[in-house]
Amino acid sequence: MLMPKLNRKKIYEHLFEEGVCVAKKDFNLKSHPEIKEVSNLEVIKACKSLASRELVKEQFAWRYYYFYLTDEGIKYLRDYLGLTEDVIPATHKVMRAERPVFGAKSAAGGPKGEGERSGYRAATEKATEAGPGAAPVRHGFGRGEPQHQ
């Protein structure tokens, strides 16, 4: 599809930054929700062009196109946009979650072991009896049998 080079560059920049591109299957939409000043049709057709060259993986579900950048696509867009090797898409960045130090107090500030299995084993607050006959027997939930009291 013929489109201005500036629009194609905006689409490719967005795809490289995010690593994915999502487009609703609405060819009459004036502009794409994430890429301003570019029509939704141009985004779909540019990404389908990349998909035909196997630079992105295309997935379609519930009237939405999902395009995922492949390793070959990253190399191609890096060359097309003139980016260095240290620039990578957001989907390829490793996000490390902060984990607490081993042996530290719990997040609530209580002593270690509070809220563990051992808390259920303590018999300090048992108010009812356990065993047969402790729970009341309730009849009458069958096929019309009168309820006994």
Residue at 37: amino acid letter: E
- Residue-wise pLDDT for 82-117, tens only, equals 999 999 998 888 877 887 777 655 555 555 555 666
> Tokens for 93?
């960045």
Instruction: Measure the CA–CA gap between 94 and 6, rounded to whole angstroms.
Output: 31
CATH 1.10.10.10 is held by the domain 5-92: yes
Do residues 37 and 46 make contact, with C-beta atoms less than 8 angstroms apart? no
Q: d(Cα 22, Cα 40) in Å, to the nearest integer?
A: 10
**So where are the chain's domains?**
5-92
Q: pLDDT value at position 144? A: 65
Give the pLDDT score at 37.
Answer: 92
| Whole-structure pTM value | 0.64
Q: Coil, helix or strand for 52?
A: helix
Given this model, what pLDDT does residue 19 score?
95
For the chain, list residues with pLDDT below 70.
103-130, 133-142, 144-149
